[in-house]
Structure 1
Amino acid sequence: MDFSVYFFSANDRNDFGARYRFILDVARFADSHGFTAIWTPERHFQEFGGSFPNPAVLSAALAATTENLGIRAGSVVLPHHHPVRVVEEWSLVDQLSGGRTGICVATGWHRGDFVFYPEHYETRREHTFGHIDTLRSLWRGEAARFPGPGGQELEVRTFPRPRQPELPLWLVHTSNPRTWTEAGRRGLNVLSLLTSWEKLEEDIAGYRAARERAGHDPESGIVTIGMHTFIGEEEEAVRALVHEPVKSYLASFMTQKRSDDRVSGTSRDTDTAEQDRLADLMAEDYYQRRSLLGTPDKCAATVGRLRAAGVDEVACLVDFGLPFDTVLAAMPALDALRRRCAGEDRATPATAAPAAGTHTSSGPLGWYYDRG
């Protein structure tokens, strides 16, 4: 099982410079301790994740700061960009990093983000899938044709040339099973969050089968699962420490969802007390069932269950509202878990995580995950 570090911060009212320094500190630790990659997202116009308007810019700094770590976009919202710009920017990052980049593409969902290309909103899924092959061909150095001034088509080849001959590509998944099969058919990797253990196993099986039907090696595709992560020795101390930050983090999703629904005219009134109760339930659900929050033994069992489900990489979401110094101080415990799980690789039985705690629905955040 590979371990990477994943950023998608919620509390962006803090000093932005301090956050970027914190990200670089985490990256240096991960780089020198055998982690696989670091993921940074693309977010716009919201407090939730507002530090991350352009993962290529931040990734250029990460590339210059590290030597071994994969530098990945988690993700690039393809309908917000011209594919030529995506390849140009990430080819530059690939050169700076010595060939360590990877991109996860996403369709986008928040209406307010589509100020860039409003015409792409209704066809965002088709637009994304329609340009995956374009990204790949441009990355290889092949020419592509695009509309130019006066309706004339122009032929384009991008520079600089990247170091890697092929672009490592992930597709972000929310809950739509077609995303898994589409990723398999196209030979893409998958980045997802955990909503249901049973659904995860079903989706991974469908993904592997789709790869095989399309003539791809069914086992070579990488399934990456993002999970809130904080490791500590005392169960109750960890729960007390992470509950409010996780609750606040998840409540940010609800706030953004309501904002989007107001724009679309589908909003439902939710009073403050109801939202607070829901956020409490969500936070406890994440702690118990869908996170690497807790003691080393609890989290190792969860990693074992991920492995048994067919997951290749866990992306540890370490930045969900805890103080930066607290997260940095806990990184050695996360590295110890990584080393422990690497030593047990393929040796942990499928029953490592107890059946109790099985989550069989898309959960309280189903409205968010169902966007995919």
Structure 2
Amino acid sequence: MEFAVVASSASGRTADPEWMSAYARHAEACGFESLVLVEHAVMASEYASEYPYAPSGRVELAADVDIPDPLEMLSFLAGRTERLGLATGVLVLPVHQPVVLAKRLATLDRISGGRLRICVGMGWLREELEACDVPFTARGRRANEQIEVLRKLWAGGPDGVSHHGEFFDFDHAVSYPKPVQAGGVPLHIGGHTPAAARRAGRYGNGLQPLGLAGEALADVVALMRRTAEEHDRDPNALELSLGHLVTKINADRAASLEAQGATRIVLAASDTGDLEQAKDELSACAERLGL
């Protein structure tokens, strides 16, 4: 079992380089597997979209809070840490151009010594995707093709690769450097829908189901595994990342999540902007878990 920490965007400190450096180094010293950053290219001061992970349908995050580009910040933190995994949770995949993204992810994996893990989502905020000129209703099809493009470019040799799809079209493209990790950067799928489970089974290295528990969780995990088998992939090679809170998790709760199939627990940090309090919460969490 591995334990990752999601740095709180609501704290307003995730764009502060010195704050994040100290926080990341402390997470590493405590024995956490990775540090996770979220992404929003833009927020919206007014929006009609429904946030699916809160009963109110509204995201509990101010539109004007600092949310840095996660890949830029993770690149910076790669130079401030030695062993700590670097992850997103989630990268809004449809807003990215995959040929460019393939180079960015491979470069980050290379400079970090193979410490990168990407969890991608389709995006819930229609206004964000439309601001990036991405049709909201096509985001799932676009993301499937994006993952295909990423994997082709990472696997391709000096003769290049070609792709002719619905959204992207190119011939003889050569992309170097390659990721350090065999098979490319691990791509996990975040989401709570059957589509997310099928995407993880067909294309992903794992699933991070958001906001699900009990029978609903078991159903999406089973669907992921069936889909993997249908596409001649090993379902036992797929990871399952489940969520909890830094301040609430303990050994018994971790064991319960492991019994549900979790290979990683992704822990949401509290919203405190006080660095010493944030570090103390990590230390107490690590002690409870025996890290």
For structure 2, the residue ranges without an aligned partner over 5 or more in a row are: 44-61
> 1:169 maps to what in 2?
187
What secondary structure does 2:124 align onto? Answer: coil
Listed one character per residue, the Cα deviations across residues 289-326 of structure 1 (whole Å, up to 9, x for unaligned) are xxx3xxxxxx3222121111111110111143463321
> 2:206 maps to what in 1?
189
Number of matched residues? Answer: 266
Cα-Cα RMSD: 2.5
Aligned mates of 1:72, 1:171 — CA distance in 2: 12
> 2:232 maps to what in 1?
215
Listed one character per residue, the Cα deviations across residues 233-254 of structure 1 (whole Å, up to 9, x for unaligned) are xxxxxxxxxxxxxxxxxxxxxx
> 1:302 maps to what in 2?
253
Q: Which of 140, 143, 148 is the aligned partner of 1:128? A: 143
Map residues 279-318 of structure 1 onto 2, 5 A cutoff. 292=249, 299-318=250-269
Q: Which of 42, 47, 50 is the aligned partner of 1:45? A: 42
What secondary structure does 2:219 align onto? Answer: helix
> 2:49 maps to what in 1?
none
Aligned mates of 2:19, 2:103 — CA distance in 1: 27
Aligned mates of 2:11, 2:27 — CA distance in 1: 22
What secondary structure does 1:216 align onto? Answer: coil
Map residues 239-258 of structure 1 onto 2, 5 A cutoff. none
Aligned mates of 2:134, 2:74 — CA distance in 1: 28
Relative to structure 1, the CA distance from residue 139 to residue 227 in structure 2 (aligned partners, 3 Å threshold; closer, same or farther) is same
Aligned mates of 1:169, 1:4 — CA distance in 2: 16
Listed one character per residue, the Cα deviations across residues 228-278 of structure 1 (whole Å, up to 9, x for unaligned) are 3215xxxxxxxxxxxxxxxxxxxxxxxxxxxxxxxxxxxxxxxxxxxxxxx
Aligned mates of 1:194, 1:153 — CA distance in 2: 38
> 1:261 maps to what in 2?
none
> 1:279 maps to what in 2?
none
| One-letter amino acid of the counterpart of residue 119, structure 2 | C
Q: Which of 328, 339, 343 is the aligned partner of 2:279? A: 328
> 1:158 maps to what in 2?
175
What secondary structure does 1:52 align onto? Answer: coil
What secondary structure does 1:118 align onto? Answer: coil
Relative to structure 1, the CA distance from residue 49 to residue 335 in structure 2 (aligned partners, 3 Å threshold; closer, same or farther) is farther
Map residues 25-64 of structure 1 onto 2, 5 A cutoff. 25-46=22-43, 47=62, 50-64=65-79
What secondary structure does 1:161 align onto? Answer: coil
Listed one character per residue, the Cα deviations across residues 104-160 of structure 1 (whole Å, up to 9, x for unaligned) are 12211212212553243220111001121111111223534479xxxx955322233
Q: TM-score, normalised by structure 1?
A: 0.65
| One-letter amino acid of the counterpart of residue 187, structure 2 | L
Listed one character per residue, the Cα deviations across residues 312-348 of structure 1 (whole Å, up to 9, x for unaligned) are 11011114346332121122211113327xxxxxxxx
Q: Which of 1, 18, 25 is the aligned partner of 1:21? A: 18
| One-letter amino acid of the counterpart of residue 28, structure 1 | R
What secondary structure does 1:311 align onto? Answer: coil
Is it true that 1:224 corresponds to 2:175 in the alignment?
no
Deviation (angstroms), 1:192? 2.7
> 1:281 maps to what in 2?
none
> 2:288 maps to what in 1?
337
Q: Which of 70, 75, 89 is the aligned partner of 2:104? A: 89
Relative to structure 1, the CA distance from residue 53 to residue 124 in structure 2 (aligned partners, 3 Å threshold; closer, same or farther) is farther
Relative to structure 1, the CA distance from residue 16 to residue 218 in structure 2 (aligned partners, 3 Å threshold; closer, same or farther) is closer
Listed one character per residue, the Cα deviations across residues 71-118 of structure 1 (whole Å, up to 9, x for unaligned) are 112222222111011111111111111111121122112122125532
Aligned mates of 1:44, 1:15 — CA distance in 2: 15
Deviation (angstroms), 1:9? 1.7
Q: TM-score, normalised by structure 2?
A: 0.81
Q: Is the 8 A contact 1:230 1:334 kept in 2?
A: yes
Q: Is the 8 A contact 2:70 2:88 kept in 1?
A: yes
Map residues 236-275 of structure 1 onto 2, 5 A cutoff. none
Listed one character per residue, the Cα deviations across residues 182-212 of structure 1 (whole Å, up to 9, x for unaligned) are 3113343112333332311232233233323
For structure 1, the residue ranges without an aligned partner over 5 or more in a row are: 232-291, 293-298, 341-372
Identity over the aligned pairs, expressed in percent?
26
| One-letter amino acid of the counterpart of residue 90, structure 1 | L
Relative to structure 1, the CA distance from residue 214 to residue 337 in structure 2 (aligned partners, 3 Å threshold; closer, same or farther) is farther
> 1:255 maps to what in 2?
none
Aligned mates of 1:218, 1:126 — CA distance in 2: 22
What secondary structure does 2:104 align onto? Answer: helix
> 1:286 maps to what in 2?
none
> 2:196 maps to what in 1?
179
Aligned mates of 2:130, 2:267 — CA distance in 1: 31
What secondary structure does 2:141 align onto? Answer: helix
